[in-house]
Chain A
């Protein structure tokens, strides 16, 4: 039997969504480990022993200063070498919600200059001015992203955040993301069309919900795929015919399968 794909799910003070993220990877046959960042910093754990890195949601360090900023600094200033090595080896990284915010603040996304020295993109306060938990339809628009290959075009996932409005530094960056197939998910309505609030729950520019790096091996997204791996968490499972598997699971399976074959 092939060796199980090892996944590292990094946590720190204020991380949550870790249990369900580990669960999602395990459902796809991976060996997922929850590791405190201190163990990486103290070199008790070696990043290159893993093929997939996940940054789950939550409020790392309370999101003081700005969402994901402190954890991003820790990675930038204390783990940069290890992470660079990991990224150059084309291993996979997924950042969900707060994890996406961290990826953006470390410069791993959009990763236009490898690891960006400046913030090309950011996630800002929702237009509604408050934290919101609601389900959204997402249109998968990227061929480049490893996590979404072959997934359905229209998927349904929950968002739960107060700072998820995706913005780019300038129009040039936005155009670049679009032109280079780095926009992975857009918020749409149930018919797959562009629509305003609440279909686009935070006012993201161009309704962008998730992006990947030019290599397609790093994905960041605000919605929570780990929360919809079973039909019984769909908000309408008691009234609609649905498959047993939730839409979110495909992302994890793609990653695990890709890593198993290629990494």
Chain B
């Protein structure tokens, strides 16, 4: 055996098995190593390094979602496959006819019009972004774009959305842990990385969010999402026995080796940078141009991207039913010297794998050559049900496909939840709430992200309808983005996100509920139809081996089921990234991120002409608050600014919310709404200020008219509570009756009028508790991240 090493596991003790897993960066548990040992016992031989690597990649948490699919003991009750019991179950129960492909492919697919479908996927690239922010984030966006290129028979990317979580930009140097980068450096690197990749791909980045929390200092989160457009007939793939395996795009190098397995363990100061991939967006654009042509000519039966695990995962997945023979010596390399297992698992970027019928091979190769995109035949789908790898004439691996995919033992994990009791706030309500409002507007998570947004081409492809920056001076914060992927049609796609990690510090159940509400109400606010909204879940969590961490995950998942089923919003795709922890070499502690769920939403709009933006339009219009305001200060920006988290986390009344969404949609569709903005971070006060300064128009507002404040006597709480399912709406006087008639049975109160150039908020006794020049408020909101 010239090109492989034999790893002796048949005679290895448990201790030795673990040592092999650890030293090879395989991230396999003892139970898994034992399963491997048993398999090779039956094969009567020891595995090669290539075989062990293949198993490790396929069984990695990243690829297999072992926690979500495992058996969890939650406070004494057994949960058999959390994913199936919550997220997937919700989608099955909701059973929308417009869902085309869910949870089976690279991305979820829904119907767009008679001829087209749209696919949506959100991915994370957290660990790479922590150690090499520019490259990590760039390849993050590159990776999710390839998911879209490889969904079904391939889709054209039409929109990107990005959500980042960082540590505070002013984090003190002296508190930094050994081996970590400063949040500011990560922030700038990530923004540039996404910019340079997304812009070069010619995909508009039209929506996003940035959260700053201390808990993300060592382990930032980088969520990248892409929407794709594809012909309705291109939504499914099927590899046939005898198909040729063609690899298109980038060459293979040593970059990104062990990406899949390294993302499944905690980071530490010695984490290798070689685990980060190197991106080349122009290569990816060539691949895109080439493959979409081949798709339209029907030249292949299946396609997938090389993501985590490289060829090992891509070919492994495609060949699950047929088996495959791959000749690793035929793979074009960036430079010589790679061992076969490195070629097999390298996560070098911009590579797509195709299953091409032999009779179409020469035509597809011609098309790829025309685009100057390198393509090679690396093997065939054999029909033997085995994965056979060769280097020249030497056989490197011969594994049963069934074992690779189903041979791993299921995880058994413990989760225990105890309700938290955090300190309750004990400060009095200030007389003047103006400074508190300004402070919220200046909170980096709330403040204007214009500096980032303008660096992203959010208008390429010519279909941007509702932009991230809106209003009289094109600088107010929009809710959802809307784009027309087909320029000859008035149909559109709306995309938004919901993320509230601070709520999760109190209870991940209500965090998840609030995130779904936020993702949905952002879409409603621009004119989306609540019956056409699909959502994506994206969990980033600490180690599931800690029972309290896992319990949070269970609770969040349960809320996903409970809320989504009532809202009728199916999950069409999802992702989890666990083990977001940093192992501090000095204290020996592992620092986990706050359990974070991103809910992303997508909605097909019948006619984009009904869309509204959030900026106040005209003086003398009525301002309505739809939805109830409760004493729900827990996790709010206002309490954070006063040094508390609190306990009264915002909840969701899903049944009521569903009705409010439907009425809001009617009001917008019938043209009664001049402006609409959802209340989120910073509550009513922030939403009011944003609408005012975006429109260049003040307002007079009366807190005693706010619906649902019974028993809520604190003016600061009314103004800054972050209760869910609330919309601020601007209505012309002539539409007053029609608008109010819609909301007869639901709380919607006229709380004031647009007027002048100041935001004046009258307290419960009529006294002005806020009286601020909107220019000053805008400055408070714009200055923190103007030139970070």
Q: Which residues of chain B come closer than 8 Å to A133, judged between CB atoms?
A: 453-459
* Contact between chains at B457 and A131 (CB < 8 Å): yes
* Contact between chains at B613 and A239 (CB < 8 Å): yes
Q: Which residues of chain B come closer than 8 Å to A236, judged between CB atoms?
A: 470-472, 474
* Contact between chains at B472 and A17 (CB < 8 Å): no
- Give B190 Cβ to nearest chain A Cβ, in Å: 15
For the complex, is A14 an interface residue (Cβ under 8 Å from B)?
yes
* Contact between chains at A39 and B370 (CB < 8 Å): yes
* Contact between chains at B462 and A13 (CB < 8 Å): no
Q: Which residues of chain B come closer than 8 Å to A38, judged between CB atoms?
A: 370-372
* Contact between chains at A14 and B463 (CB < 8 Å): no
Q: Mark A59-76, 1 if CB is under 8 A from B, else 0.
A: 101100000000000000
For the complex, is B240 an interface residue (Cβ under 8 Å from A)?
no
In B363-415, the 8 Å CB interface with A consists of 370-372
Bound state CA distance, A133 and B281, in angstroms?
19
* Contact between chains at A23 and B455 (CB < 8 Å): no
For the complex, is B467 an interface residue (Cβ under 8 Å from A)?
yes
In A26-66, the 8 Å CB interface with B consists of 36, 38-39, 57-59, 61-62
For the complex, is A232 an interface residue (Cβ under 8 Å from B)?
yes
For the complex, is A227 an interface residue (Cβ under 8 Å from B)?
yes
* Contact between chains at B454 and A23 (CB < 8 Å): no
Q: Given A14-B282, A19-B461, A239 and B617 touching (CB < 8 A)?
A: yes
For the complex, is A110 an interface residue (Cβ under 8 Å from B)?
no
* Contact between chains at B285 and A160 (CB < 8 Å): no
- Give A18 Cβ to nearest chain B Cβ, in Å: 8
In B456-501, the 8 Å CB interface with A consists of 456-467, 469-472, 474, 484, 487-488
- Give B671 Cβ to nearest chain A Cβ, in Å: 12
Bound state CA distance, A160 and B459, in angstroms?
8
Q: Mark B234-253, 1 if CB is under 8 A from A, else 0.
A: 00000000000000000000
Q: Which residues of chain B come closer than 8 Å to A17, judged between CB atoms?
A: 202, 460-462
For the complex, is B612 an interface residue (Cβ under 8 Å from A)?
yes
Bound state CA distance, A39 and B281, in angstroms?
23
For the complex, is B201 an interface residue (Cβ under 8 Å from A)?
yes
Contact for A232 among B202, B285, B458, B608, CB less than 8 A: B608
Q: Mark B189-226, 1 if CB is under 8 A from A, else 0.
A: 00000010001111000000000000000000000000
* Contact between chains at B455 and A130 (CB < 8 Å): yes
* Contact between chains at A19 and B462 (CB < 8 Å): yes
- Give A48 Cβ to nearest chain B Cβ, in Å: 22
* Contact between chains at B487 and A23 (CB < 8 Å): yes
Q: Which residues of chain B come closer than 8 Å to A130, judged between CB atoms?
A: 455
For the complex, is B615 an interface residue (Cβ under 8 Å from A)?
yes
Q: Which residues of chain B come closer than 8 Å to A61, judged between CB atoms?
A: 282
In A107-153, the 8 Å CB interface with B consists of 130-135
Bound state CA distance, A236 and B467, in angstroms?
10
Name, among B281, B459, B465, B470, the residue most crowded by chain A CB atoms within 10 Å (CB to CB): B459
Bound state CA distance, A214 and B690, in angstroms?
49
Q: Which residues of chain B come closer than 8 Å to A58, judged between CB atoms?
A: 200, 202
- Give B676 Cβ to nearest chain A Cβ, in Å: 10
Closest A residue to B492 using CB positions: A232
Name, among A17, A38, A130, A236, the residue most crowded by chain B CB atoms within 10 Å (CB to CB): A236
Interface residue SS majority, chain A: mixed
Q: Mark A222-263, 1 if CB is under 8 A from B, else 0.
A: 001011011011011011000000000000000000000000
Bound state CA distance, A86 and B216, in angstroms?
58
* Contact between chains at A14 and B200 (CB < 8 Å): yes
Q: Which residues of chain A come closer than 8 Å to B459, judged between CB atoms?
A: 133, 158, 160, 224, 227, 233
* Contact between chains at B472 and A16 (CB < 8 Å): no
Q: Which residues of chain B come closer than 8 Å to A132, judged between CB atoms?
A: 454-455
Number of A-B contacts (CB under 8 A): 115
For the complex, is B330 an interface residue (Cβ under 8 Å from A)?
no
For the complex, is B286 an interface residue (Cβ under 8 Å from A)?
yes
Bound state CA distance, A239 and B289, in angstroms?
37
Contact for B282 among A23, A24, A59, A235, CB less than 8 A: A59
For the complex, is B609 an interface residue (Cβ under 8 Å from A)?
yes
Closest B residue to A132 using CB positions: B454
In B561-578, the 8 Å CB interface with A consists of none
Q: Given A13-B285, A135-B474, A239-B472, A36 and B371 touching (CB < 8 A)?
A: yes
Bound state CA distance, A114 and B487, in angstroms?
37
For the complex, is A181 an interface residue (Cβ under 8 Å from B)?
no
Q: Mark B18-31, 1 if CB is under 8 A from A, else 0.
A: 00000000000000
Q: Which residues of chain A come closer than 8 Å to B611, judged between CB atoms?
A: 238
Q: Which residues of chain A come closer than 8 Å to B462, judged between CB atoms?
A: 17, 19-20, 23-24, 224, 226-227, 229, 233
- Give B639 Cβ to nearest chain A Cβ, in Å: 34
Bound state CA distance, A188 and B592, in angstroms?
51
Q: Given A62-B200, A232-B465, A235-B469, A13 and B372 touching (CB < 8 A)?
A: yes
Q: Which residues of chain A come closer than 8 Å to B458, judged between CB atoms?
A: 133
* Contact between chains at A235 and B370 (CB < 8 Å): no
- Give B299 Cβ to nearest chain A Cβ, in Å: 17
- Give B466 Cβ to nearest chain A Cβ, in Å: 8
Bound state CA distance, A178 and B454, in angstroms?
31
Q: Which residues of chain B come closer than 8 Å to A229, judged between CB atoms?
A: 462
Q: Which residues of chain A come closer than 8 Å to B464, judged between CB atoms?
A: 227, 233
Q: Which residues of chain A come closer than 8 Å to B372, judged between CB atoms?
A: 13, 38
Q: Which residues of chain A come closer than 8 Å to B289, judged between CB atoms?
A: 11, 13, 36
- Give B148 Cβ to nearest chain A Cβ, in Å: 15
Bound state CA distance, A15 and B487, in angstroms?
19
* Contact between chains at A23 and B281 (CB < 8 Å): no
* Contact between chains at B463 and A16 (CB < 8 Å): no
Bound state CA distance, A82 and B464, in angstroms?
36
Contact for A233 among B280, B463, B695, CB less than 8 A: B463
Bound state CA distance, A44 and B30, in angstroms?
61
* Contact between chains at A134 and B474 (CB < 8 Å): yes
In B616-640, the 8 Å CB interface with A consists of 617
* Contact between chains at B608 and A16 (CB < 8 Å): no
- Give B283 Cβ to nearest chain A Cβ, in Å: 8
Bound state CA distance, A89 and B542, in angstroms?
67
Bound state CA distance, A5 and B749, in angstroms?
57
Q: Which residues of chain B come closer than 8 Å to A135, judged between CB atoms?
A: 474
Bound state CA distance, A134 and B471, in angstroms?
13
Bound state CA distance, A24 and B463, in angstroms?
12
Closest A residue to B453 using CB positions: A133
Bound state CA distance, A50 and B54, in angstroms?
53
* Contact between chains at A131 and B455 (CB < 8 Å): yes
Sample of 15 more A-B contacts, CB < 8 Å, known A17-B462, A59-B199, A227-B459: A13-B285, A13-B372, A16-B202, A16-B285, A36-B370, A38-B370, A62-B281, A131-B195, A131-B457, A133-B458, A229-B462, A233-B462, A238-B611, A238-B615, A239-B615
Can you list 24 A-B contacts with CB-CB less than 8 angstroms, sorted by A residue number?
A11-B289, A13-B371, A14-B200, A14-B282, A15-B202, A20-B460, A20-B487, A39-B370, A58-B202, A59-B281, A62-B281, A62-B282, A130-B455, A131-B195, A132-B455, A133-B458, A133-B459, A224-B462, A227-B464, A232-B484, A238-B612, A239-B471, A239-B472, A239-B617
6 smallest beta-carbon distances between A and B, as pairs: A16-B202, A20-B462, A62-B282, A238-B613, A160-B457, A14-B282
